[in-house]
Chains A and B, each alone.
Chain A
Amino acid sequence: MSPAKVAHGQNPLRDPRDKRLPRIAGPCGLVLFGVTGDLARKKILPAIYDLANRGLLPPGFSLVGFARRDWADEDFAKIVLESVRAHARTPFREAVWRNLAEGFRFVPGTFDDPKSFDLLRETVHNLDQDRGTGGNHAFYLSIPPAFFPTVCEQLDRSGLSHASERDWRRVVVEKPFGHDLVSARELNAIVQAVFPPDSVFRIDHYLGKETVQNLLALRFANQMFEPVWNANYVDHVQITMAEDIGIAGRAGYYDGIGAARDVIQNHLLQLLALTAMEEPVSFQAQDLRAEKEKALSAVRLPRDLAKSTARGQYAQGWQGGEHVIGYLDEDGINKSSTTETYAALKVEIDTRRWAGVPFYLRTGKRLGKRVTEIAVVFKRAPHLPFDQTATEELGQNAIVIRIQPDEGITMRFGSKVPGTAMEVRDVTMDFGYGRSFTESSPEAYERLILDVLLGDPPLFPRHREVELSWQILDPVEALWARQGRPDPYPAGGWGPVSSDDLMRRDGRTWRKP
């Protein structure tokens, strides 16, 4: 009996039929910049613990924190513990925590201090020696993009970013990827001067969500939706991301950026791409990205931008039983700020599948409730063999993919009202896998961090997609920059009147999500 062959990419213990085997990354560590930030505390650190708790982190996994704090490793561990206790999804287990915390290191320093990066290099090197991280490290830049050049330069100078043939270095960046096409290109040039394109992971956390991935299953695993998923049957598509909160302490980041750059450029255009794209040849990264890029490159803005866009700024009002202040009264906001907190936009997609079908995108803060959804609204039946009175209450059929918070799918169709008369009205049917799923379904960040450690790129947008998105948004931003102040809208409503006018001009209305 000769033993089974083992080679690179050939592992006798991995059998494609063995679908249980979890994906566990090889030895590696994560270096986190911006440990004290909101995102790190609420999302990244809890996600790392949850991954450990699920047994998906490699043995010896290590986490290095870098920040301008005079901390020892233990102080850092305390901060992580606080955020894990407050935000982790899975139950707290002492043994898991202790084991994970053994791999925590902290490097105090500033981004422009070469000495701190030398210390970081030494720390990372020691981890390779002591804990066996094997020279594989991901650098998570959870910091404002203004610091990217300095950090990347330091990573390069100190040699931290240089991978050998046997190990890997990856970099993880968060939105915003620039604030227009030019700055996005600059930012990309900076990062790619240090890391090769395959090693850059841009996180759009929407793509890590179960429901967004489920959109692909809904469209491409079923026979009953794809035949009607085109201009023959679809009247229009509405993609909404509404938040009920204000800018809540993010004034410094938000003012001057605005809703469109913050949300439409990345999340909504990614959702649009997934909704509109053709079937990818496979779900490999390059095939999926190719289809998304095709869809994005076919997006066309209407000629009269003033009439097909709307923007607003929340004023004071009552929201959810609470009186809230307007945007201009928020701490740290210039009283004459023209930053929009609501943005709506109509685009068309120049493909055979979508010719003549408008896609309406809207996002805003301080709206009626927190909800993200994609609504595909169908045309009316070409002929209704009923009395006119029988179908008065019948609207248009719709398939709604609810992305958060109540994850699932809703279908709206006409049904006879029980009774002796023939009356048809709209009913909705809910598919609520998500409703029960939320408790145990992994957070988007868990999936994405795991994918980074595994080097599995399909869920991360490529630079080309970022560029295409800015190409779509830049003319709109240019127009808005000339327009002066956005239209005020009361907090707790559904945006400015101008956004309703935008729909009314097309003979449509916004869905009430």
Chain B
Amino acid sequence: MIVDLPSTTMAAVSKKLVKLRNDVGAMTLGRVLTLVIVVDETEADDAIEAANDASHQHPCRIIALVRGGTRAPNRLDAQIRVGGDAGASEVIILRLYGALAEHGNGVVVPLLLPDSPVVAWWPKEAPPDISESAIGAMAQRRITDAAEARSPRAEMKRRADTYQPGDTDLAWTRLTLWRGLLAAALDQPPYEPVVAATVTGASDSPSTDLMAGWLAQALKCPVTRARTRAGTGMVSVRLERRSGSIDLARPGGAVATLAQPGQPIRRISLGRRALAECLAEEVRRLDPDETYAETLTKGLAKVGASGSVKAPGSVAHQAAAGKLGGTKMAAPSGARQGKSSS
């Protein structure tokens, strides 16, 4: 059900919410948090849809603050979506015009779920100091997305300078599976320290920067950040050890290869994660992410830069990927080829 309340007041919106709840009946659901999305008109729909999907895992009330023109007269347009039109959540979209557009926090307060955490999410541009911003100050968790910023590098720097517990960035979330695979690789013998690491990825990929920072912080070894063409995303990670190196590479597409000395090349699907999936992971835990904090505030500074790499992936990765690229149902011959190359 979608209810439009044009040119309205917050009192009317709150009243309507309670009335809808009483009229529709059986809407009790364990809502675990309030998600406040701060977004511009053009990106509002995509963000709300992703939040709706994520709410299937974490039922929540979604409040979308859509900033309209600041030069228009002060006005508040509201829309309430419940039931089938709102996934497992209830969605309240507030369009703010005029001076109101700068005072979104005032309209949000009466709509926050009692006694539940607040999560704030800026799908695109975020204020320079998010924890000091009006919405950010209300929230236990503040989600930004550096990859969507005009200048991801400058954005990362700002996040590091203003970090407060509870901050997190989707560029970090996108790394989770990569990190999981690297950690799993180090779980296996030979148990040797990593003496150096190289992280390769697009020049505009904050995820790649964070990966390098994380490795530098955790492994306490020199980490080099190699750059590929903008838009290529996270490309590969090489961990060098005495007996040889571990190479996890995704030279494009959704399949990655994991190469280790003395072992056949293993392949694994490692696609770019959907926005809803990342958001669901973000709201899963609301305690500060200390690993992210250390990566951001200490790790990034430890990373050494190297020049740009012409094509995505190092030469070794390409050889490995090229040899396996043609095999479909891994005929034994194809797989053996892979082995001989390692």
Contact = CB atoms under 8 A, between A and B. Distances in A.
A53 B182 CA distance: 18
A99 interface: yes
Nearest to A95: B254
Nearest to B195: A3
B84 interface: no
B269 interface: yes
Interface stretch (B1-9, B72-80, B98-106, B259-267): B259-267
B335 A131 contact: yes
A11 interface: yes
Contacts of A19: 285, 289
Contact of A60 (B222, B264, B328): B264
Contacts of A436: 29, 55-57, 59, 87-88
Contacts of A6: 186, 191-194
Interface in A3-59: 3-8, 10-15, 17-27, 52-53, 55, 57-59
A99 B55 contact: no
A169 B269 CA distance: 25
A197 to B, nearest CB: 24
Contacts of B173: 20
A101 B268 contact: no
Given A129-B339, A440-B57, A95 B180 contact: no
Given A4-B194, A59-B266, A130-B332, A13 B182 contact: yes
B22 interface: no
A102 B329 contact: yes
A59 B218 contact: no
Nearest to A10: B191
Contact of B339 (A20, A104, A130): A130
A64 interface: no
A11 B186 contact: yes
Given A4-B194, A166-B189, A15 B291 contact: yes
A17 B266 contact: no
A413 B258 CA distance: 57
B301 interface: no
Given A55-B269, A436-B29, A101 B329 contact: yes
A189 B177 CA distance: 41
Interface stretch (A328-336, A425-433, A444-452): A425-433
Given A14-B183, A131-B330, A21 B176 contact: yes
B267 A4 contact: no
Nearest to B293: A17
Interface in B177-229: 177, 179-184, 186-189, 191-195, 215, 218-222
A12 B216 CA distance: 11
B219 A3 contact: yes
Residue from A98, A166, A441 having most chain B Cβ neighbours under 10 A: A98
A86 interface: no
Residue from A10, A20, A53 having most chain B Cβ neighbours under 10 A: A20
A130 to B, nearest CB: 4
B181 A4 contact: no
A252 to B, nearest CB: 35
Main secondary structure of the interface of A (DSSP, over half): loop
B42 interface: no
A430 B183 contact: no
B330 A5 contact: no
B281 interface: yes
A437 B57 contact: yes
B336 A12 contact: no
Nearest to B172: A20
B271 A21 contact: no
Contact of B191 (A7, A23, A104, A439): A7
A4 B219 contact: yes
Interface residues of B, number: 66
Given A22-B176, A130-B335, A52 B266 contact: no
Contacts of A100: 269
Contacts of B258: 59-60
Interface in B298-342: 327-330, 332, 335-336, 338-339
A508 interface: no
B329 A74 contact: yes
A435 B29 CA distance: 8
A388 interface: no
B330 to A, nearest CB: 4
Contacts of A1: 220-222
A346 to B, nearest CB: 33
Contacts of A73: 329
A119 to B, nearest CB: 14
A208 B198 CA distance: 40
Interface string A78-103: 00000000000000010110111111
Contact of A20 (B184, B260, B281): B281
A164 interface: no
Residue from A27, A96, A132, A441 having most chain B Cβ neighbours under 10 A: A132
B86 to A, nearest CB: 11
A99 B256 CA distance: 10
A8 B267 contact: no
Contacts of B30: 408, 431-433
A77 B329 contact: yes
Given A4-B220, A24-B180, A134 B285 contact: no
A2 interface: yes
A126 interface: yes
Interface string B220-247: 1110000000000000000000000000
A2 B196 CA distance: 11
Given A59-B258, A93-B269, A15 B329 contact: no
Interface in B139-196: 173, 176-177, 179-184, 186-189, 191-195
Contacts of A98: 255, 328
Contacts of B218: 4, 12-13, 15
A60 B266 CA distance: 5
B29 A432 contact: yes
A3 B255 contact: no
Interface string A268-307: 0000000000000000000000000000000000000000
A95 B59 CA distance: 30
A19 B173 CA distance: 12
Contact of A130 (B26, B270, B281, B336): B336
B120 to A, nearest CB: 19
Nearest to B26: A430
A30 B26 CA distance: 45
Nearest to A77: B329
Contacts of B189: 8, 166
Contacts of A431: 30
A52 B267 CA distance: 12
A134 B184 CA distance: 14
What are the 9 tightest A-B residue pairs by CB atom distance, in nearest-first order?
A60-B266, A436-B88, A59-B266, A130-B335, A102-B330, A59-B268, A95-B254, A13-B183, A3-B193
7 contacts: A6-B193, A21-B179, A55-B268, A59-B181, A77-B329, A129-B264, A440-B56
Given A95-B255, A132-B260, A436-B57, 18 more contacts: A1-B221, A3-B195, A8-B189, A13-B215, A17-B290, A19-B285, A20-B281, A20-B289, A55-B268, A59-B258, A59-B268, A95-B269, A129-B264, A130-B332, A436-B56, A436-B59, A436-B88, A437-B56
